Amino acid sequence: MPRPESDSIWVIGVAMTPFRRYSDADAYDLGGRAALAALADAGLTMADVDVLAAGSVNQARPYPAQQIQRRIGQTGIPAYNVLNACATGAAAVRVVYLAIAAGEASIGLAVGCEQMGKKGLLGQAAPVAADRYVPSGKYGAVMNIEGVLGTGLMPGVFAQAGMTYAASNEGVGFEQFAKIAVKNHSHSTLNPLAQYRKEFSLEEIMAAEMISYPNTVLMCCPTGDGGAAAVLVSGERLATMPSEVRRRAVKISASVMTSDPYVADGLVQPDVNTLTRNAADQAYARAGVGPEDLDLVELHDCFATAELLHYDNLRLCEPGGAGEFIDSGAPWRTGRTPVNVSGGLLSKGHPLGATGVANIFEVTTHLRGEAGDRQIADAKVGMAHVIGLGSACAIHILERAAA
Amino acid sequence: MTQAQVKTIPVVDYLCLDGGEPKLTALVCDACGAHYFDHREACASCSSSGPFTRADLPRTGRVGAFTIVHRAANGVRTPFVSAVVYLDDGTAVRANVVNCAPSPEQVHLHMRVRLVTFELGTDSEGTCAIGFGFEPA
């Protein structure tokens, strides 16, 4: 293999715990397990790590990075806690990436972890009725407006986002959204790390309990627990590492983070599209690749409606052609651009903080040719995408070493 | 107590009940024209720190997106139709679609709708909260 460019940054270790519910471990235990496994995968220990970044959403306090250090090794290195909604894990990866790019570290560890338990789909307490109406908050509301002035809960928000796309594009409706869930549940049957591994027919998915039309319960990601970790290294340092580490190294050709630019309706309906498009365009430009070069994509399918939007946002299909894209079978593992061969958030699961590292685990594993039954043959280039409402979008484009 | 004596309060402060037909209002950035329903420190579009002038909004518009919520937070009656309505001046508003069956056969994207108000409840002092929604026009 050619000597890695000294200013390049590589992934040399990845791991994730199975995503499921854990009653015998907390989020930091799961983050620690994943971190140890990722370090072992890289042939390293905590003593080799120059910088640590870690994140969780529900367990953001009392500080995942230090909690994980206490569990697996307190070496006194700089440790950063990150919180960026569902892009938290990807933000941890990017903090490590930036530390290496800045020359302050040559080996870094990024960890995402989460424990959601059976938090429930909506994750919200019951509104408390007030004894007396007093305007409060930024809208001067006299009561909880959830359900009174529309919905701001995730299933409804992403349902509306999908319906906005359906409003302006032909051939997109309930059936197209449901087909995405058929695909991801089917893909998950090949992934031993997935929370659910059960196939469903289109009819079963469409007839399942309606949560927020057009998303039925089988079109919404589950809550769950898990940890995922990645070890990053500078090209300069990688060049000094054993040939086996170099052979399995995966290059980060683009690491991009965006937030919401202003759009007129964005304060009423979260805009998951513009920042994703911006991130995709920047990532393709930086990596010097196009959507046609991608052998697999792990994208943020928190709801089936979301995945359909991102076909268009990530330029995987013709503008406006996301309905036709799923109808054609293109994003199936046997199709032109396999999407969410892990089972995606819909079936692999979505422990919030872990997700943005877990998708880098998935893409890296395929690029190394180590994905077992679900391996995409001869995968050379892959994309990992996450979006957290607020919003934050992270995209990483990864490439196999040219050995 | 006669109707005239009942004290009312809007569910949110951008619903205006001060005489005439109920209407929605927005704060408009003098510098760039961006519309807001919330209180502002500065403009999210152009970063101008104001001033912001309150303006009345049209009472009619179209459904730009909707969902029919079947599983909701505790205490919320289901199913209900949540929508993003684009008023005739382009301002986006989130509200329920009311006076319309909550089914995908009855609610349509691009459907014309108009503002309606209704009572939401009465507090311990007898003040009645007035909510708003949109009904098929």
Q: Do A269 and B94 touch (CB under 8 A)?
A: yes
Q: Do B92 and A142 touch (CB under 8 A)?
A: no
DSSP A265: T
Q: Do A133 and B129 touch (CB under 8 A)?
A: yes
Write out chain A residues lying below 8 Å of B73, CB-based: 122, 124-127, 146-147, 153
Q: In sequence order, what E strands does A293-380 have?
A: 296-298
DSSP β-bridge partners for residue A133: none
As a whole number, mean pLDDT of residues B34-57 equals 95
Find out whether A216 and A205 touch, Cβ atoms under 8 Å: yes
Q: Which residue has the higher pLDDT, A119 or B102?
A: B102
Residue A123: which of A253, A223, A22 has the closest Cα?
A223
**Closest Cα in chain A, distance from residue B54 (Å):** 14
What is the rounded distance in angstroms from the CA atom of residue A33 to the CA atom of residue A19? 13
Q: How far is CA A69 from CA A17, A22, A79, A341, in A?
A: 18, 20, 9, 32
Write out chain B residues lying below 8 Å of A223, CB-based: none
Domain boundaries, chain A: 5-118+222-400
pLDDT digits (tens, 9 = 90+) for A32-85: 999 999 999 999 999 999 999 999 999 999 999 999 999 999 999 999 999 999
pLDDT, residue A403, reads 46
Q: Do A265 and B35 touch (CB under 8 A)?
A: no
Name A190's Cβ contacts closer than 8 Å, sequence gap at least 6.
Answer: A333, A341, A372, A373, A374
Q: 2.60.260.40, 3.40.47.10, 1.20.1250.20, 3.40.50.300: which CATH number matches A5-118+222-400?
A: 3.40.47.10
Q: What is the mean pLDDT of chain A?
A: 95
Name B35's Cβ contacts closer than 8 Å, sequence gap at least 6.
Answer: A264, B26, B27, B28, B29, B55, B57, B91
Q: How confident is the model at residue A134 (pLDDT cuts 50, 70, 90)?
A: very high
Write out chain B residues lying below 8 Å of A141, CB-based: 11-13
Q: How confident is the model at residue B74 (pLDDT cuts 50, 70, 90)?
A: confident
What is the rounded distance in angstroms from the CA atom of residue A348 to the CA atom of residue A222? 9
Q: Do A267 and B70 touch (CB under 8 A)?
A: no
State CA A122 to chain mean position distance: 19
Q: How far is CA A75 from CA A46, A78, A79, A105, B46, in A?
A: 7, 9, 10, 14, 46
**Closest Cα in chain B, distance from residue A129 (Å):** 9
pLDDT digits (tens, 9 = 90+) for B3-42: 556 899 999 999 999 888 999 999 999 999 999 999 899 9
Identity of residue A231: V
pLDDT digits (tens, 9 = 90+) for A271-296: 999 999 999 999 999 999 999 999 99
Task: Please give the residue of chain B at the shortest CA–CA distance from A151.
Answer: B82
Write out chain B residues lying below 8 Å of A122, CB-based: 71-73
Q: How far is CA B128 from CA A130, A235, B111, B118, B131, in A?
A: 13, 67, 30, 10, 10
Out of A122, A124, A133, name the one closest to residue B123 (CB).
A133
What is the rounded distance in angstroms from the CA atom of residue A384 to the CA atom of residue A193? 17
**Closest Cα in chain B, distance from residue A123 (Å):** 9
- pLDDT of A125 higher than 60: no
Find out whether A90 and A396 touch, Cβ atoms under 8 Å: yes
- pLDDT of A171 higher than 80: yes
What is the rounded distance in angstroms from the CA atom of residue B36 to the CA atom of residue B51? 12
- pLDDT of A17 higher than 80: yes
Find out whether A134 and B124 touch, Cβ atoms under 8 Å: no
What is the rounded distance in angstroms from the CA atom of residue A137 to the CA atom of residue A130? 14
Q: Where are the alpha helices (DSSP H) in A130-173?
A: 154-168
Q: How confident is the model at residue A7 (pLDDT cuts 50, 70, 90)?
A: confident
Domain boundaries, chain B: 3-136
Write out chain A residues lying below 8 Å of B71, CB-based: 121-122, 155, 209-212
